């Protein structure tokens, strides 16, 4: 695994996609149509001309030590290379009949570059080796000194991150250069330059590449470049351009003074706002000065035009002035002051109580809190990847949405008809790209980037409960952030604030405690890692080769050091708290006892201190009154550990605090990533979702680590044919029977098999039915089409099957067994077809995790589920979309028919592609429904009586045990209910 700076992946159980360049940069050759043919690569077989970049080495001499493929190495130190051009040396090697060589470089005095111990594998032709990157071009070719027309081209790699650039071109009317073209020269940071002689031509066609097969050919159109100076940046061509690397005149002009400064107090918090200042180059930040109280004058830097000042003294007047600052440090005069007087400290919100009802009654709306709706801009944070990710260009910090925004839009969720909200993890995270919440650092602290005065996590829980809505908290037991877990163990890492790494390592500020939100005063940035790094080897250090260069380079070309990035094999993490290996086999035992990725430090969950730390932390959130836990990466903890430790701890805590009924209905559902279409995940029972719904069926060793191995081996040997089965989801003929949940583990599951097959509703239906006898009770399965991880069939993009297909999928989910769940925005096919996640290699605005708040602007009220009382602004337009209307009526129908919520089902005696019957009987309630989705159906052997369709109101009287239904059409359905209420709701775009 690489020991590079974090390129934070998507969270576990998703594809860890490595950054390979912009989405727009095509891994293809440039336009090769007849009008712009590519010249063939020159025949350089049997020889290699190797260019080596010396600028970063400062060697007085450079030697090439090599061995032709299959041949012997030269005598150390090798052959001295000759000067080629500025910063480059070269050597041509005769390879005889072979077509490649292994190579290393050195200064002749014992200092080597051997590619981090891997040597360099080089081919034939002209090659460059620059800071560990191999490319194919001549960096010294064509300096553009001819007497004909010239074109000077500047190409920007600031976005792509290429470490070298070539230009492949053809003068108008002329031939293309041999691919990959000519090496461009470094002009300044992020820019490469080449001056080309093009003879009598007045323009040229061009494409650019990194020398290793990644091209920018302007989406196959190539670039047209005239004579003179031209810049190409992010596909924008500027002709007659100024030199982007020219030294600019110093900026001495200060910004204008901020105006309309206001301050308003709520309890002991003050919100300050002002109108933006202007500047000839742009305002970069504001300085807010506070006077008043016993702490004297306080100055803070703010990146927006709103500042939330909290934790102030009671009944105290505070005055605020604001200055604007530009990139050159020019500062405006102070604004007029604004004064606010605080009140009394607000009492802490009372702890909530879970609603405690059957979770099957509550459809779930899933939100990434930080990407849903921004209720308080003062807690927005972009992190160290804000600019590089492209988010800065969109004014879209990764931490944007918050609890205040979610509280403000609870009525939107209720108007759609959802009565449960699944939110991403709330604990304090610590990572370069941690907005999603899966890199926990302090499991006992709610991330301040999500909270506001009057909108704490407790406030959210209480507000949701007041509207009859449940809150399901996403929890992580398997891993922490790579920086460990505060209160359990955090490693000290080697960090040096040299010219390369000062952008990454914050200055030390003794006594400053990381909270993700607070801006560190020395650097003016959101504090990230200043309390974790050290140049001095810490006492008791166990990390090998502390602070010594690894010989490798980061993606930026920076020197890497041992112990710079935490990893399981570095010696940084004690076995008592963390596992010490990399995952090798996702279907093997090591998938439960090794790190999934460099950013996910794998807890030793079989260790008592770790168990106590996690149980204690999640007890805190149980006490706050949450209604359930969605368990992340459940498959990566042994079932026996869940069954012995974590699941009983949840049940015990809920029972102690809220009673047995609340504990029975505290909903725990696990993510068991089984990304295949078969019933058992590649035949491995230990890695199949349904396996986790069962208790253990034998005793294992008292030691949890031994027990985990024993359980894995025992169940693996039992195989798929000897696993327990259940009839809990199935009718007995037409009769409901009391389910036997005596062997239930306490963990329900996300229905991965249906999810994987939802590219077609019929496939999802068939595959779901096929697995239900191996789940303890499939009526509790959480069912969704796509999520923040995957679309159907392990697609990395948000579902794009079309509106009719979405309507059909929803019709099935809302009537078949299980709990229907929707990922935020799917009600308007938000970001359909977009890559769900690409980490910090592209802006969030172009992904499936984009900010949704623009679609929620305005006001909405809803007193009943699935009904809009009033709506205005953009949110009214959102709620009027066809799938939103479809969801409202589906939720109205499901809520009115108990059989569709908690009933068992059967397909016996039924003809039809997606047709089934469901029944739930309890006390005086007997709810029996016949459902067909999209297609026609015939039901035989059913009870006689009067059946009413909940969609159309049609009435059918059955006297001979048979009822037939015509095909309602794609996205539509029929729900004939014995002695039912008749038509529910009004006709919409699909249900009619």
Mean pLDDT, rounded, for 791-798: 94
Cα atoms in the Cβ-side hemisphere of radius 13 Å centred on 492: 13
Query: 3-class DSSP state for residue 549?
Result: strand
Structure tokens at 95: 């390879």
Q: What is the pLDDT of residues 717-734, one digit of tens each?
A: 999 999 999 999 999 999
Query: For the chain, what is the mean pLDDT?
Result: 90
pLDDT over threshold 60, residue 388: yes
**Is residue 693 a contact partner of residue 725, using CB atoms and an 8 Å limit?**
no
- The answer to whether the peptide bond before residue 800 is cis (omega within 30 degrees of 0) is no
Report residue 219 CA to chain centroid gap. Answer: 27
pTM: 0.75
**Is residue 708 a contact partner of residue 592, using CB atoms and an 8 Å limit?**
yes
**Is residue 288 a contact partner of residue 272, using CB atoms and an 8 Å limit?**
yes
Q: What is the pLDDT of residues 327-367, one digit of tens each?
A: 889 999 999 999 999 999 888 888 899 999 999 999 999 99
Name the burial class of residue 30, with classes exposed (0-12), middle (13-18) and buried (19+) by CB atoms within 10 angstroms of its CB. Answer: buried
User: For residue 761, what is the enclosing H or E element?
Assistant: helix 761-771
Mean pLDDT, rounded, for 441-467: 96
Nearest-angstrom CA–CA distance, 881 and 893:
19
pLDDT over threshold 50, residue 947: yes
- DSSP secondary structure string, 48-59? EEEEEE-TTT--
What is the structure's pLDDT at 534?
A: 87
What is the structure's pLDDT at 335?
A: 96
DSSP designation for 730: B
* Segments in 392-501 forming alpha helices (H): 403-408, 410-416, 457-466
Nearest-angstrom CA–CA distance, 545 and 138:
38
- Min mean pLDDT across 309-313, 490-494, 765-769, 890-894 is at 309-313
Report residue 751 CA to chain centroid gap. Answer: 21
Strand partners, 931: 916, 975
**Is residue 121 a contact partner of residue 102, using CB atoms and an 8 Å limit?**
yes
Query: 3-class DSSP state for residue 461?
Result: helix
What is the structure's pLDDT at 38?
A: 36
pLDDT over threshold 70, residue 412: yes
pLDDT over threshold 90, residue 533: no
Name the burial class of residue 507, with classes exposed (0-12), middle (13-18) and buried (19+) by CB atoms within 10 angstroms of its CB. Answer: middle
pLDDT over threshold 60, residue 975: yes
Strands (E) located in 590-648: 600-602, 628-632
What is the structure's pLDDT at 557?
A: 87
Structure tokens at 173: 């009317």
- The answer to whether the peptide bond before residue 12 is cis (omega within 30 degrees of 0) is no
Nearest-angstrom CA–CA distance, 180 and 210:
9
Strand 628-632 with 470-476, pairing: parallel
Apex 184 CA angle, 180 and 185, nearest 5: 155
Structure tokens at 309: 């000042």
Residue indicated by tokens 């009214």: 876
Model confidence band, residue 524 (pLDDT cutoffs 50, 70, 90): low
Model confidence band, residue 384 (pLDDT cutoffs 50, 70, 90): confident
pLDDT over threshold 70, residue 156: yes
Give rounded-to-5 percent helix, strand, coil for the chain: 20, 30, 50
**Is residue 309 a contact partner of residue 322, using CB atoms and an 8 Å limit?**
no
Under the phi-then-psi rule, with left for phi > 0, alpha for psi from -120 to 50, and beta for the rest, what region is 265? beta
pLDDT over threshold 60, residue 40: no
- Min mean pLDDT across 106-110, 163-167, 378-382, 411-415 is at 163-167
**Is residue 941 a contact partner of residue 966, using CB atoms and an 8 Å limit?**
no
Q: What is the pLDDT of residues 119-134, one digit of tens each?
A: 898 888 888 898 888 8
Mean pLDDT, rounded, for 256-279: 90
**Is residue 130 a contact partner of residue 81, using CB atoms and an 8 Å limit?**
no
Q: Which residues contact 539 (CB under 8 A, 6 or more apart)?
A: none
Mean pLDDT, rounded, for 572-598: 89
R_g (Cα) of the chain, nearest Å: 32
Q: What is the pLDDT of residues 812-831, one digit of tens each?
A: 999 999 999 999 999 999 99
Residue indicated by tokens 């592209």: 842
The share of the chain scoring above pLDDT 70, in percent, equals 94
What is the structure's pLDDT at 213?
A: 78
Mean pLDDT, rounded, for 464-477: 98
């Amino acid at each position: 695994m690489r020991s590079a700076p974090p390129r934070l992946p998507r969270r576990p159980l998703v594809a860890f996609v490595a950054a390979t360049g912009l989405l727009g940069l095509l891994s293809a050759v440039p336009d090769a149509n007849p009008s712009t043919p590519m010249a063939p690569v020159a025949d350089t077989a049997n020889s290699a001309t190797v260019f080596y970049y010396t600028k970063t080495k400062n060697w007085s001499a450079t030697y090439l030590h090599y061995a032709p493929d299959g041949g012997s190495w030269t005598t150390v130190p090798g052959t001295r290379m000759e000067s080629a051009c500025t910063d480059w040396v070269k050597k041509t090697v005769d390879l005889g009949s072979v077509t490649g060589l292994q190579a290393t470089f050195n200064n002749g005095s014992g200092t080597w570059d051997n590619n981090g111990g891997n040597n360099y594998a080089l081919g034939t032709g002209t090659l460059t080796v620059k800071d560990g990157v191999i490319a194919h071009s001549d960096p010294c070719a064509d300096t553009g000194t001819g007497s004909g027309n010239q074109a000077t081209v500047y190409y920007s790699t600031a976005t792509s991150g290429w470490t070298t650039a070539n230009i492949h071109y053809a003068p108008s009317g002329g031939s293309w250069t041999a691919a990959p073209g000519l090496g461009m020269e470094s002009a300044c940071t992020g820019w490469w330059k080449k001056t080309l002689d093009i003879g009598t031509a007045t323009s040229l066609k061009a494409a650019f590449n990194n020398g290793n097969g990644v091209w920018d050919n302007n989406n196959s159109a190539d670039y047209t470049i005239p004579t003179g100076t031209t810049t190409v940046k992010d596909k924008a061509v500027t002709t007659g351009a100024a030199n982007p690397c020219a030294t600019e005149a110093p900026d001495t002009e200060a910004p204008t003074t901020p105006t309309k400064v206001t301050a308003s107090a709520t309890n002991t918090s003050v919100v300050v706002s002002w109108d933006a200042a202007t500047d000839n180059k742009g305002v970069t930040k504001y300085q807010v000065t506070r006077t008043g109280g016993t702490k004297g004058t306080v100055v803070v830097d703010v990146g927006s035009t709103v500042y939330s000042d909290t934790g102030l003294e009671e009944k105290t007047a505070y005055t605020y002035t604001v200055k604007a600052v530009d990139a050159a440090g020019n500062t405006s005069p102070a604004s007029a002051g604004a004064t606010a007087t605080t009140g009394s400290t607000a009492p802490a919100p009372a702890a909530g109580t879970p609603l405690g009802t059957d979770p099957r009654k509550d459809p779930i709306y899933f939100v990434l809190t930080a990407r849903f709706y921004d209720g308080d801009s003062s807690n927005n944070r972009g992190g160290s990847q804000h600019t590089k990710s492209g988010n800065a260009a969109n004014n879209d910090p990764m931490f944007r949405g918050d609890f205040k925004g979610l509280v403000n839009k609870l009525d939107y969720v209720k108007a759609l008809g959802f009565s449960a909200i699944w939110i991403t993890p709330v604990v304090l995270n610590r990572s370069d790209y941690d907005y999603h919440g899966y890199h926990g650092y302090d499991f006992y602290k709610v991330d301040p980037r999500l909270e506001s005065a009057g909108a704490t996590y407790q406030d959210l829980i209480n507000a949701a409960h007041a509207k009859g809505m449940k809150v399901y908290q996403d929890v992580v037991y398997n891993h922490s952030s790579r920086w460990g877990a505060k209160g359990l163990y955090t490693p000290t890492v080697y960090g040096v604030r040299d010219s390369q790494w000062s952008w990454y390592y914050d200055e030390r500020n003794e006594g400053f405690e990381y909270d993700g939100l607070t801006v560190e005063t020395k650097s003016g940035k959101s504090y990230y890692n200043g309390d974790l790094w050290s140049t001095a080897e810490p006492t008791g250090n166990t990390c090998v080769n502390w602070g010594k260069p690894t010989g490798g380079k980061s993606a930026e070309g920076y020197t890497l050091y041992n112990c710079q990035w935490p990893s399981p094999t570095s010696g940084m993490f004690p076995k008592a708290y963390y596992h010490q290996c990399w995952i090798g086999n996702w279907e093997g035992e090591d998938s439960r006892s090794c790190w999934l990725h460099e950013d996910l430090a794998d807890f030793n969950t079989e260790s008592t201190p770790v168990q106590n730390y996690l149980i204690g932390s999640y007890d805190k959130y149980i006490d706050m009154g949450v209604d359930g836990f969605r368990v992340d990466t459940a498959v990566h903890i042994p079932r026996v550990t869940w069954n012995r430790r974590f699941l009983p701890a949840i049940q015990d805590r809920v029972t102690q605090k809220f009673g047995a009924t609340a504990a029975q209905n505290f909903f725990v559902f696990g993510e068991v990533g089984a990304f295949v279409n078969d019933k058992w995940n590649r035949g491995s029972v230990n890695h199949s979702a349904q396996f986790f719904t069962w208790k253990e069926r034998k005793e294992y060793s008292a030691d949890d680590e031994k027990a985990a191995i024993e359980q894995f081996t025992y169940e693996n040997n039992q195989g798929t044919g000897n696993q327990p089965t259940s009839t809990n989801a199935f009718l007995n003929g037409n009769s409901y029977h009391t389910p036997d949940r005596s062997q239930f583990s306490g963990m329900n599951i996300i229905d991965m098999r249906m999810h994987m097959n939802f590219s077609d509703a019929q496939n999802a239906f068939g595959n779901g039915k096929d697995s239900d006898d191996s789940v303890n009770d499939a009526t509790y399965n959480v069912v969704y089409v796509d999520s923040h991880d995957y679309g159907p069939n392990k697609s990395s993009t948000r579902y794009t099957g079309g509106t009719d297909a979405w309507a059909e999928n929803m019709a099935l989910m809302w009537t078949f067994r299980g709990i229907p769940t929707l990922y935020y925005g799917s009600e308007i096919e938000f970001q359909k077809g977009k890559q769900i996640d690409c980490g910090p290699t592209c802006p969030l605005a172009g992904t499936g995790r984009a900010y949704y708040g623009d679609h929620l602007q305005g006001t909405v009220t809803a007193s009943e589920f699935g009904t809009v009382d009033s709506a205005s602004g953009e949110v009214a337009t959102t709620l009027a979309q066809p799938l939103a209307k479809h969801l409202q009526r589906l939720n109205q129908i499901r809520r009115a028919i108990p059989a569709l919520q908690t009933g068992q089902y059967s397909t016996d005696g039924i003809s039809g592609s997606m047709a089934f019957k469901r029944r739930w009987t309890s006390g005086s309630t007997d709810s029996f429904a016949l459902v067909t989705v999209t297609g026609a159906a015939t039901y035989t052997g059913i009870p006689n009586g009067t059946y009413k369709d909940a969609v159309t109101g049609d009435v059918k009287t059955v006297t001979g045990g048979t009822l037939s239904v015509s095909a309602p059409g794609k996205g539509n359905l029929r729900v004939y209910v014995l002695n039912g209420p008749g038509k529910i709701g009004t006709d919409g775009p699909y249900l009619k």
